[in-house]
Chains A and B, each alone.
Chain A
Amino acid sequence: MTAPRRVAVVGAGLAAVSTCDALRAQGYDGELVVYSGERGLPYDRPPLSKDVLLGKARRDDVLLRPEQWYDEQRVDLRDGAPVRAVRPYEGGIELGDGSVAVADRVVLATGGTPRALPVPGGDDPAVHLLRTWEDAERLRERLLPGARVAVLGAGLIGAETAAVACALGCRVTLVDPVPVPLAAVVGDDIARALHLQHTAEGIEVITAGVERVERRSAEILVHLAGYDGVVAADTVVAGIGIRPATELAEDAGVRVDNGIVVQAGQRTSHPNVLAVGDVARRDGHRVRHEHWEAAQRDGQAAALGILGRPEPDAGAPWFWSDRHGSRLEAVGTMADAERTVRRGAPDGGALTVFGLCGDRVVAAAAVDRARDVKVARRLVDRRVVVDAERLADESVDLRVLLRSGGAT
C-alpha cells in the first residue's frame, strides 16, 4: 500500500487535533486538512461546563492549539465548513457547498450530539443542551443570581452544570431518575458522597423521571413522572448524554453499531476511513469511551494506523469531573470489579475506592486524592499483583506497592 498523501479530518475537537498532532510527530508530511462545522479555532470542551460557564475562561483560554500552530504544522483548518458526505470509493469528501475535496484517508471525528429529552416538549429550544462553545455562551447568559435553573440529568455534565449554577447564585433543582447516579462507574460509596454534595450546597435534588416539558410565557414547567409536583424554572438544561454523530459514516456505508465500529489503529470497515473520539467504538468494547483522554489517545492511534504502524497498548480509561470544589477522578469501570477496597477517611470527603478482580486492581475512583489515582492507573495498566490490606493502609505509600508488586 502506498503511503497516504492527502488526509482529511472531519470534525475539529480534541480527537481531530490529536490526530493531526500525532501525524506530524510521526513524520507524515503530506496534506492535512481539517473540516470544522463550527467557526473559529478548535477548543477544548471540558472547560465549557466549568470555567467557561463560570465566566472565568474566554475562548482564547480554551483553544486546543494556538493559531500559529496550524501554520507551523501545516494543518489546513477550514472552519465553518460542514461536510455533507464522505465518498470513500471516489476518494474524497463533499462539502456543504457541493464542492468535492480529494483525500486518500478520511478521519471521522464527528463527535456526538447531545440527546434531547425523549418526552413531549423535550426538544423545545428553551431546553438548553451543552456541547459547544455557543451552547455554553447561551447558557451562561441565563445563569443569573436568583434565576431558577432546572438541570435534568445528574451525570457528569449535569452535575457540573448544577454546581456552576449554584456557585453563580442560581436556585437550582437537579432531577435524575436514578437515586445514585454514576454508581456503576465510580462505585456506590463515591457516587453517593458526590450526589449528597449537591444537597449540602443548597441544590434541591429530586429523584424522578421527566414526563413532559411545558413552556409558558415567562417560565418553563417540568412535569415529573412518579413525583408529586412540578418544577417551575426560568432556565432548563438537559444533560442526559450524547448520541454519536454517525450520519456521515452510515451514508458512506461504514459499519455503525452504537458508534462507528473501529479496530486497532482506529480503522473502520472501509480501508480508507478511520474514526476517532466520541463517535467511535472499539470493536469488543461495550461502550464508547466518551472522555477527554480517550479522544486524545484515539488520535494517536489513528495517526499510527494511517502510517501503517502498530499502536501501543491502550491503558484503562480515565476521566475527571469537577463539582462544588471537589474533584472526581476514575480509572476503569467499578462495575467490572469483584470487590472494593477503601482508602481514606470515610467522613473526611477525600476518599479512594479501588476495585479488584482477584489480586489485581481493575478500577479506581477517588475524590480529591489525585496521587492515588496516578498510582491506580499504573497498577491497572501494569497488572500489578497487590495486597488488599496494604492498599487500604494509609501508612503504606502506594508507590511502594507499584514498585514491589509482582506483575505478570
Chain B
Amino acid sequence: MSINGTGIRVAAVGDIDEGEALKVPADTTGHGDAIAVFHDGGAYYALDDTCSHGQASLSEGWIEDGEVECPLHSARFCLKSGEPQCMPATLPQRTHRVDVRDGAIWLHPGKESTG
C-alpha cells in the first residue's frame, strides 16, 4: 500500500475478487478504525470495518447484491450508503470514497463516498 495526497493505494485492480473484501488496517487508514474495501457487482465500496453492532470485521462478511452481511449476527449494511438494512444493527457504517485509477484501487479515508 502507498499513501499520497490523492488517497491510499490499497490494491491493484484484480487483487480483490468479486464478492471479496480487503481489510485496510487502522494504522494505514489513520482513521481510528480499519476500513473494509468491498468488490461487488464490478464496483468498489468502502465502509468502516468494525460492525456498528458487535465487534466483528465486515471484511469477513458475506458480500452480495450491494450489501454486506456481518459474519457475527447477520446484520446487513448497504455498501453504498452504509445504512443498516436489518437488526441487530441500528447505526450506519461510515462510508469512504474509493476510486480506480491507473489500474489500482485508491481509498480516501474520511471522505464520504459520493454514491
Question: Which one of B19, B71, B86, B88 contacts A370 once the chains associate, using CB atoms below 8 Å?
Answer: B71
Q: Are B88 and A371 in contact (CB under 8 A)?
A: no
Tell me whether chain B's interface is mostly helix, strand or loop, or mixed: loop
Q: How far apart are the CA atoms of A370 and B69 in the complex, in Å? A: 11
A371 touches B73 (CB 8 A): no
Among listed A64-72, A111-119, A192-200, A279-287, interface-contacting one: A64-72
B87 touches A371 (CB 8 A): no
Can you name the residue of chain A whose Cβ is closest to the Cβ of B88?
A44
- Which residues on A sit within 8 Å (CB–CB) of B62? 371, 374
Partner of B87, one of A64, A320, A374, A399: A64
Chain A CB within 10 Å, residue with most, of B19, B69, B87: B87
CB-defined interface of B66-88 with A at 8 Å, one 1/0 digit per residue?
00010111100000000000111
Give chain A interface residues in 212-255, CB to chain B under 8 Å.
none
Contacts of A292 in B (CB 8 A): 73
Residue contact B69 to A18, C-beta cutoff 8 Å: no
B24-44 residues at the A interface, CB under 8 angstroms? none
Any chain B CB within 8 A of the CB of A14? Answer: yes
What is the bound-complex CA distance between A66 and B53, given in angstroms?
Answer: 12
Say whether A173 faces chain B, with CB atoms less than 8 Å apart: no
Main secondary structure of the interface of A (DSSP, over half): helix
| Cα–Cα distance between A69 and B62 once the two chains are bound (Å) | 28
Chain B residues contacting A371 (CB-CB under 8 Å) are 60, 62, 71
Q: Which residues of A contact B86 (CB under 8 A)?
A: 296
Residue of B nearest to A375 (CB): B62
For A374, give its contact among B69, B73, B88, B90 (CB under 8 Å): B69
Partner of A66, one of B19, B71, B90: B90
A side interface size, CB within 8 A: 18
**Contact indicator A370/B72 (Cβ below 8 Å):** yes
- Asked if A123 is at the interface (CB within 8 A of a chain B CB), the reply is no
| Minimum Cβ distance to chain B for residue A255 (Å) | 29
A14 pairs with B60, CB closer than 8 A: no
Pair B90/A14 contact, Cβ less than 8 Å = no
How far does the Cβ of A207 sit from chain B's closest Cβ, in whole Å? 32
Minimal beta-carbon separation of A238 from chain B (angstroms):
27
CA distance A14 to B87 in the complex (A): 9
Shortest CB-to-CB span from B84 to chain A, Å, is 11
The complex places the Cα of A14 from the Cα of B19 at a distance, in Å, of: 31
Contact with A along B47-65 (1 / 0, CB 8 A): 0000000000000101000
Chain B hits for A21, CB < 8 A = 87
Of chain B, the residue at the smallest CB distance from A327 is B72
CA distance A64 to B73 in the complex (A): 14
Contact status B19-A399, CB under 8 Å = yes
State how many angstroms separate the Cβ of A103 from the closest Cβ of chain B: 24
Contacts of B88 in A (CB 8 A): 44, 64
Give Cα distance in the complex from A248 to B74, angstroms.
33
Taking a contact as CB atoms under 8 Å apart, the answer to whether B74 and A293 are in contact is yes
Residue of A nearest to B61 (CB): A374
Cβ of A385 to closest chain B Cβ, rounded Å: 20
A304–B10 Cα distance when bound, in Å, is 43
Residues of B close to A320: CB separation below 8 A = 73
The residue on B at minimum CB distance from A320 is B73
Indicate with 1 or 0, residue by residue over A37-81, a CB within 8 angstroms of chain B CB atoms.
000000010000000000000000000111001000000000000
Residues of chain A lying within 8 A (CB to CB) of residue B90: 64-66, 69
Residues of A within 8 A of B73 (CB): 292, 320
- Best-surrounded residue of B19, B62, B69, B73 (most CB of chain A within 10 A): B62
Of the residues A64, A296, A318, A370, contact of B60 by C-beta under 8 Å: A370
Residues of B contacting A17 in the complex (Cβ-Cβ under 8 angstroms) = 87
Which residues from B are CB-within-8-Å of A318? 74
Bound state CA distance, A177 and B99, in angstroms?
59
Name A residues whose Cβ lies closer than 8 Å to a Cβ of B. Answer: 14, 17-18, 21, 44, 64-66, 69, 292-293, 296, 318, 320, 370-371, 374, 399
Q: Knowing that A17-B87, A64-B90, A374-B71 touch, tell me 16 more A-B residue pairs with CB under 8 angstroms.
A: A14-B87, A44-B88, A64-B88, A66-B90, A69-B90, A292-B73, A296-B86, A296-B87, A318-B74, A320-B73, A370-B60, A370-B71, A370-B72, A371-B60, A371-B62, A374-B69
B residues near A (Cβ < 8 Å) are 19, 60, 62, 69, 71-74, 86-88, 90
Listed by A's residue number, 15 A-B pairs whose Cβ atoms lie within 8 Å are: A14-B87, A17-B87, A21-B87, A44-B88, A64-B88, A64-B90, A65-B90, A293-B74, A318-B74, A320-B73, A370-B60, A370-B71, A374-B69, A374-B71, A399-B19
